[in-house]
Amino acid sequence: MSKDLFHTDIHASNIPGRSIDLIICIFVFEHLRRPWQALGELWRILAFGGQVLWVVPFWQEMHNVPGDYFRFTGQGARSMAEDAGFQIAKFATLGAGGTVDAGRTTLTGAWLLGSETLFQRGSVRPSVIAMLLDKKTVGTGNPEPPL
């Protein structure tokens, strides 16, 4: 497994197209000025058959001001991912509202592993919105945008 590190603006990166198999974005997208554009860029750089783990806070105080721009609802997150061309392999609202702390990463890991005991699914006051996104081959989703 190669480990390439990139320092780039994810809104318009210098990463070669279709070159990444797995992208992990945990608590990043609330800090982006144009998250819809960044998701399109993730689609471009992700290889066919690749996946994106995308997690954002929902119920959390503002932090890193002025660099904290967005909170996403479940419907907004789904819509943005689908508009970028992704298929949603897994989706959940995790937690039960209130303060979000370091345990949110544990919740995400438990969700990925299928544990039902560490979080409440479908909470009306979720702490976290989590998606596992797939990039399928041409013909099974949206057409491949140009590199």
Q: Is residue 145 domain-resident?
A: no
Cα–Cα distance for residue pair 45/20, rounded to 1 Å: 6
CA–CA distance, 20 with 51 (Å, rounded to integer): 9
Q: In this predicted structure, what is the pLDDT of residue 74?
A: 92
142 within some domain: no
CB atoms within 10 A of CB 145: 11
pLDDT tens digits, residue range 50-85?
999 999 988 777 888 889 999 999 999 999 999 999
Interval 2-22: pLDDT, tens = 677 888 999 999 999 999 999
Q: What is the mean pLDDT of the chain?
A: 81
| Domain total in the chain | 1
Look at residue 11 and tell me if it is in a domain: no
CATH of the domain at 58: 3.40.50.150
The verdict on residue 12 lying in a domain is no
Could you list the residue range(s) of the whole structural domain that residue 27 is in?
20-134
Is there a domain that residue 127 lies in? yes
Whether residue 4 lies inside any domain: the answer is no
Please indicate, yes or no, if residue 126 is contained in any of the structural domains: yes
- Look at the block and give the residue holding tokens 């967005």: 70
Residue 40: is its pLDDT beyond 60?
yes
Question: Residue 68: inside a domain, yes or no?
Answer: yes
